[in-house]
Amino acid sequence: MKGISSLIKLLGYALALLIFLVLLIEIFSLTSDLGQGNFKAKIANIECIPENDGLKFNIEVSYNGQRVLKNFKAFLKIKNITLKSHSINLGHNETANLTIKVPLEYLGNVIYGNSSLLLGFEFNYDGIIPLKIAFRDFKDAYGIKIEPLKVGYTAYNSECSVTMNATIINYLPLEIHGKVVFTVLNYSKTSNITLMPCNTTVLNLPLVNVPKEDLEKGVAFSINLLVKGKVVSSRTIIIKI
């Protein structure tokens, strides 16, 4: 009886040691992949889906390591709801595109509510270690973007009159009613704005007189878009002559 019990123990310990060693090697490889930035995921583009009033996130993923990432999925987490892409196996030096469709009602929660949006990806490293990496508050990647279009100025003795145009790109299939707050030094102007779904709106900002010496150092022109009092997009442009 003692012989059998010793054999059971020995077999168990030997197998456990083997598993620990395998895990140790895998973890070492995983951390070196993390250190070298071998996993990459970026939003390639965002498309509006007219038929179901949703949004399609096209995510480009790539892996430059030596192992295989099994069941690789991208996911978006809105509040408690997780939307996942289809899964793929990503091998050495492979790039793939994944798509996540987000229905309109969830997007409304992000823009008008206080729901956070997390973008992430999950996979089984070499089919052994499940790993999940999620990025919080990736505001710049989705929704509404403010881009400067044209800046012009007329110089006087000690002042400069600066005019600026910007565009607000609404990637969302939602009509958005909000306020644009334009701030330069002590000057601030708030105006109402309506952004059409999946459309670009040109913003003609008021002419501002700025002291020449300030402009030589660089002046920050801030544009904030507020929806229901919450900043949904902002952009600061430093203008210097």
Partner 1 sequence: MGKSIIKGVLKGLGTSIVTIIIPLWLISSIGGYFEKSLYESFKTEYVFTVEYNVEAYFATIIFLSIIIGVLEESRVWKVLGKSLRLALFIISFLLIYTLLESGIFSRTVIVDNVAVEVTIDLRLILYAYGFLIVLPTVIATLMEIFPLSSLKK
Q: At 137, is the secondary structure helix, strand, or coil?
A: coil
Judged by CB under 8 A, the stretch of 86-94, 131-139, 184-192, 203-211 that binds partner 1 is: 131-139
Residue type, 67: R
Pick out residues in 30-69 that bind partner 1 (CB under 8 A). 30-31, 34-35, 37
Q: How many C-beta neighbours within 10 Å does residue 120 have?
A: 18
Q: CA-to-CA distance for 163 and 220, rounded, in angstroms? A: 13
Answer for the pair 86, 101: CB distance below 8 angstroms, yes or no: no
User: Could you say whether residue 134 binds partner 1 (CB under 8 A)?
Assistant: yes
Judged by CB under 8 A, the stretch of 9-17, 46-54, 145-153, 194-202 that binds partner 1 is: 9-17
Q: Which of 56, 138, 193, 200 binds partner 1 (CB under 8 A)?
A: 138
Q: CA-to-CA distance for 225 and 55, rounded, in angstroms? A: 21
User: Could you say whether residue 19 binds partner 1 (CB under 8 A)?
Assistant: yes
Please report how close the Cβ of residue 227 comes to partner 1 at its closest, in angstroms: 22
Q: CA-to-CA distance for 43 and 115, rounded, in angstroms? A: 20
Judged by CB under 8 A, the stretch of 11-19, 43-51, 60-68, 182-190 that binds partner 1 is: 11-19
Judged by CB under 8 A, the stretch of 83-91, 124-132, 177-185, 207-215 that binds partner 1 is: 124-132
Q: State both tokens at 209.
A: 């007189």
- What Cα–Cα distance (Å) separates residue 220 from each residue in 150, 203, 240? 15, 17, 9
Q: Which of 40, 42, 86, 136 binds partner 1 (CB under 8 A)?
A: 136
In the complex with partner 1, which residue's Cβ is closer, 5 or 192?
5
In the complex with partner 1, which residue's Cβ is closer, 20 or 187?
20
Q: What DSSP string describes 188-225?
A: EEEEEEEEPTTEEEEEEEEEEEEEHHHHHH-EEEEEEE
Tell me the number of residues near partner 1 by CB under 8 A.
36
Q: At 34, is the secondary structure helix, strand, or coil?
A: helix
**Footprint of partner 1 (CB under 8 A):** 1-2, 4-6, 8-9, 11-13, 15-16, 19-20, 23-24, 27-28, 30-31, 34-35, 37, 118, 120, 128-138
